Structure formats: structure tokens, C-alpha cells
Amino acid sequence: MNYRDLFDLTGRNALVIGGGSGIGRATAKGLADFGATVTVADTNLQAAEAAADELRAAGYNATGAQVDITDEAQVRQLVTGMPSLDALVCTPSINVRKRLTDITGDEFDRVINVNLKGSFNVMKEAGAVMAEQGKGSMVFFSSIRSQVVEPGQGVYAATKAGTLQMIRALASELGTKGVRANAVAPGVVETPLTEQIKARPEWYQAYADKSALGRWSQPSELVGAVIFLVSDAASFVTGSLLYVDGGWTAQDGRFTPPL
């Protein structure tokens, strides 16, 4: 065996939902670099097509598609329309940063509908396709917030913990069908979702200081984890949560002890 071949995705069809920007867009490029034919899907069709155009310009096989993950029928049409579904990566999330006592019912429903129900729709439809094929690997983006919380992140954290638990259940239910399901837990990443934080220098720096590496991550730094999890290098990895958080959850704050 040549262990380099474990990461080769040549001949595989990968679907990246949320691939129009941020982590999803970087992931689509990474999957293509390792040989996969990539479908870039996003609620923003223009962004999805732009990402696919970039891949095609680089000589890769890619197509753009539009999907709203809160619409089960749209998700079903997307996944069943692919020639095969060897790898699925799902990144979309939204957030409303408010104390729980200030969250409105409509805001709660909106976050739950995208982050939790949307993830459920994708897991359900993609899981059925992969089980029928007898193979497939899916990666969903959870968060460090599935494990630790902060003020204003209660509902978001609940959705990320829920996504992780559904992934674990899916791994248990579909493992004997040849399907693997895992989650990634990023720390703070410079994406459109975190623009609110980046706009306030003191808040941005506080987040940077919280990680062991003392900085934010870039979307490109999440790609390696995804490639590993969808590839044969992770053939015995399922139901797991892979932290890519710069050591955020490994330490209880940063300080200089009097040693």
C-alpha cells in the first residue's frame, strides 16, 4: 500500500453545501485539488456558480447549484440528481447574538430552522442516497459551541450540539451500510458569519487571545480536516468530532503564571 493514495479522491463525486463562500468555498477547492468532481451548492446561486467557475478555470470538473437546506424537497432533488454521492460537506449556519432572555420566538425559529432542521434535511436525504449506494462519507460543521458556550450564543450552541448528536446517531444507524458521518468543530474563523466580531477590534482581539495559538483561523485551515474525514485515510473514523480550534477548548483562558 502507498499511504499517499489514501487521500486520493479521483473519480469521486463530492457535494459541498454552503460552497459559495467561506469554509465551504475553500473546501470545494480542496476536494477538487485531491481529484474529486465537485458540485458547489449554495442558497446564493451566483456565488455557487462563481466558485464552480473558478474550479473549472483551474482545470477541474465542477458545477454550481442552488439549494435552500430548509426545503426538504430541494435537498432531495439536489442529492438524487447527482450521478453518485461519495462525499458530502455541509457548512451553512446563521446566528443571532443575543441573551436567551432577549431572543424572540421568530429569531429562535430562524436559527433552529437553518442550523438544525436544515442539517437534518441534508443528513436524511444524503444518508438515504449513500445507504442505497452502500458507501459514502459526510462531514457536517458543528462548532466549539457544541461543547462550550458564551453569553449570547445559547441558541446557536444548542443547534451545534444538536447537529453533533444527529451525526453520531447517523453514524450508528448507517455504519453497516458503508456510510461514515463525522463533524468538525472550528474555533474562530474569518468568514462572513463572523463579520460582526471582526468589525470591533477589541472583540476580535479577545477572541484571538483566547486560543492557544493567539490568532484566528482562515477558512483554508479547515480544509485538511475535511479531506481527511472524507478520504480513505479515515476509513475507520465515524461518529467523531474533530476539533480545529487552535487549542481554544484545550485551555482555561490565557495568562502568564508566576513560575
CATH code for the structural domain at 3-246: 3.40.50.720
**Confidence (pLDDT) at 197:** 81
**Confidence (pLDDT) at 255:** 67
pLDDT by residue (tens digit) across 100-135?
A: 999 999 999 999 999 999 999 999 999 999 999 999
Q: Say how far apart CA 90 and CA 18 lie, in whole Å.
A: 6
240 burial (CB, 10 Å; 0-12 / 13-18 / 19+) is: middle
Selecting among 3, 156, 204, 243, the annotated active-site residue is 156
Is the model's pLDDT at 257 over the cut of 90?
A: no
Q: Say how far apart CA 97 and CA 186 lie, in whole Å.
A: 18
**Confidence (pLDDT) at 259:** 62
How would DSSP label each residue in 199-215?
A: TSHHHHHHHHHHSTTSS
Sign for the pseudo-dihedral over CA of 250, 198, 141, 121: positive
**H-only helix segments in 43-189:** 45-57, 72-80, 105-111, 118-133, 154-174
Confidence of residue 4 (pLDDT cuts 50, 70, 90): very high
Q: Which three cell numbers stand for residue 243?
A: 476539533
pLDDT by residue (tens digit) across 166-218?
A: 999 999 999 999 999 999 999 999 987 777 788 888 888 988 898 999 999 99
Residues 6+ apart with CB under 8 A from 230: 9, 14, 31, 86, 87, 89, 137, 138, 139
Q: Calculate what percentage of the chain has a pLDDT beyond 70.
A: 98
Helix orientation angle between 22-33 and 223-230, rounded to the nearest 10 degrees: 50
Report yes or no: 234 and 180 within 8 Å, Cβ to Cβ: yes
3-class DSSP state for residue 235? coil
Q: Say how far apart CA 93 and CA 193 lie, in whole Å.
A: 8
Q: Is 207 a catalytic residue?
A: no
Q: Which three cell numbers stand for residue 11?
A: 473519480
Give residue for cell 468589525.
199
